[in-house]
Amino acid sequence: MADAQQITELQLQGVQETSQYQEIDDLISKNQHYKEGFVTTTAVETFAKGLNEDVVRAISAKKNEPEWMLEFRLKAFAYWQTLEEPHWAKLNYTPLDYQDYSYYSAPECGSCAGSCDTEQEAENEIDPEVAKAFAELGVPLTGDDSNVAVDAIFDSISVSTTKREDLAELGIIFCSFSEAVQDYPELVQKYIGTVVPHHDNFFAALNSAVASDGTFVYIPEGVRCPIDLSTYFRINEAKTGQFERTILIAEKGSYVSYLEGCSAPARDTYQLHAAVVEVIVHEDAEVKYSTVQNWYPGDEDCEGGILNFVTKRGICEGKNSKLSWTQAETGSAITWKYPSCILKGDNSIGEFYSVALTNRKQQADTGTKMIHIGKNTRSTIISKGLSAGTSENTYRGLVKVLPSAEGARNFTQCDSMLIGDKCGAHTFPYIEAENPTAQLEHEATTSRIGEDQLFYCKQRGISEQDAISMIVNGFCKDVFSELPLEFAQEAEELLAISLEGSVG
């Protein structure tokens, strides 16, 4: 596979006929509506800005954590201090001042995290303003919606986890990360840092030090989780970082579909989001992990948007295990995210389906890593990048086949679509095959929604808005079909909203 080790860059910066796309550009530059951009005013407890060892200790104390968790944090913090912020991605941002952020914020009632044990209690204790915020976002906190169980996270803490009693009957644990540290310390201790070690990278180290809250999911052996589990992340406080830590464990022969959604108010200063997700899939188990990311992208110039630095990784530990990542990334000023699969078990399967949309000055550098270790492991990567406005959209992916991975197979398809002539699409596929039996396929296309396509549609009576949404959704179809139904709908709507203005 000598020629497979190449690094390709497809760079398409429109240079021809500037007037041709003038209309599209004009439309794109119109103001857009980020309907999740409201601010919730409630009594909060927020730490003063700044980060040092005392802050790490204070977070741990606030959460009443056991000694081992504090040690995990301190170890990570010490290591983080030795690191430099990475800038290898195709993202242009000035180094962040980590002392200018607050590392803990919670609605006041929320300080009882860990003691809100039942749904009833939790419901009673949710700050009404917070409950209202989630209601506006369409996130059910009362557990009436029978198809999904929700963990709602507001700034640094989880405010409500629904349906946990129903799930408990099946032995499923679905709670906030903070609660898991209290109630299931042996499970957390067993798995935390095993897939994403604290020394993995700069942002993983930072997360390990100041992890706020997140979700903990445990599916016992042979259990097929009957409903979708879902986490909704909301950053509300200004200048606050959200550092959620999520651990999902699927025991032998189990199945779960997990969804997460994200949003934040419109602020004029950057908000930092550095999450770590670890997924452990045992023998014959299957995990579907879906994300619809709609963090605030910032204003016209992407000032004040969310800076999204996320480390997501799962390990297919056992034989015949399967992990699917599906993501629709439409928000954030900056996205740095590579959900990955370590295919350790023989015959295990890793999948990555992604739609990343950037508009205005948004920048995204996203993709995946598929590490083939076990025999006959298979991975599929379908990535659809959409760039509009003056945004930059990069796919970066690694397919690595280790010598042990006899008969490994990968199929990669990276498609980019440019809307207008001032945006960029880039593809960096890295392929490292160390076993000669590996079969690796890579396909890539770049297309542009051009005046010709739009005119063709309009000449058939289709309005420009419908034409763009039809072309874009057609382009994303392979990925949206992997999302759970409601999420697929939401993702399509999000695309339409994010492209609003690009379509008149």
Partner 1 sequence: MLLKVENLQAEIDDKQILKGLNLEVKPGEVHAIMGPNGAGKSTLANVLSGRDDYEVTAGSVTFDGEDLLELDADDRARKGVFLAFQYPVEIPGVSNKLFMQTALNAVREERGLPALDMFDFDEFAKAKIELLDMRADLLERSVNVGFSGGEKKRNDIFQMALLEPKLCILDETDSGLDIDALRVVANGVNALRSEDRSFIVVTHYQRLLDYIKPDHVHVLYDGKIVKSGGFELVHELEEHGYDDIIQQHNKD
Task: Give the residues lining the site for partner 1 (CB under 8 A).
Answer: 23, 445, 447, 451-453, 455-464, 466, 470-471, 473-477
Alpha helices in 63-222 (DSSP H): 67-80, 119-125, 128-136, 164-169, 177-183, 185-191, 202-210
Burial of 16 (0-12, 13-18, 19+ CB in 10 A): exposed
Closest approach, Cβ 352 to partner 1, in A, equals 19
Cβ atoms of residues 399 and 370 within 8 Å: yes
The three-state secondary structure class of 130 is: helix
Q: Which is nearer to partner 1, 428 or 475 (CB)?
A: 475
Q: Which is nearer to partner 1, 403 or 474 (CB)?
A: 474
Closest approach, Cβ 446 to partner 1, in A, equals 11
Which tokens is 275 given? 């999450």
Closest approach, Cβ 483 to partner 1, in A, equals 16
Closest approach, Cβ 482 to partner 1, in A, equals 15
- Specify which residues 336 forms β-bridges with: 309, 365
Closest approach, Cβ 472 to partner 1, in A, equals 9
Q: Which is nearer to partner 1, 435 or 473 (CB)?
A: 473
Which tokens is 56 given? 């790490």
Alpha carbon distance 364, 297 (integer Å): 11
Which residues, 6 or more positions from 42, have their beta carbon under 8 angstroms from its beta carbon? 107, 108, 127, 129, 130
Alpha carbon distance 421, 13 (integer Å): 7
Q: Which is nearer to partner 1, 54 or 466 (CB)?
A: 466
Cβ atoms of residues 394 and 90 within 8 Å: yes
Q: Which is nearer to partner 1, 381 or 431 (CB)?
A: 381
Report the relative pairing of strands 334-337 and 306-316 from DSSP bridges. parallel
Please tell me the number of Cα atoms within 13 Å of 251 on its side-chain side: 13
Q: Which is nearer to partner 1, 195 or 417 (CB)?
A: 417
- Specify which residues 444 forms β-bridges with: 414
Closest approach, Cβ 326 to partner 1, in A, equals 18
Q: Which is nearer to partner 1, 268 or 466 (CB)?
A: 466
Closest approach, Cβ 466 to partner 1, in A, equals 6
Closest approach, Cβ 495 to partner 1, in A, equals 13
CB atoms within 10 A of CB 18: 11
Which residues, 6 or more positions from 129, have their beta carbon under 8 angstroms from its beta carbon? 40, 41, 42, 107
Cβ atoms of residues 172 and 220 within 8 Å: yes
Report the relative pairing of strands 245-250 and 334-337 from DSSP bridges. unpaired
Closest approach, Cβ 502 to partner 1, in A, equals 16
If you search the block for the tokens 């699927």, which residue do you land on? 250
Q: Which is nearer to partner 1, 54 or 493 (CB)?
A: 493
Q: Which is nearer to partner 1, 71 or 466 (CB)?
A: 466
Which tokens is 431 given? 């392929």
Q: Which is nearer to partner 1, 7 or 470 (CB)?
A: 470
Closest approach, Cβ 38 to partner 1, in A, equals 34
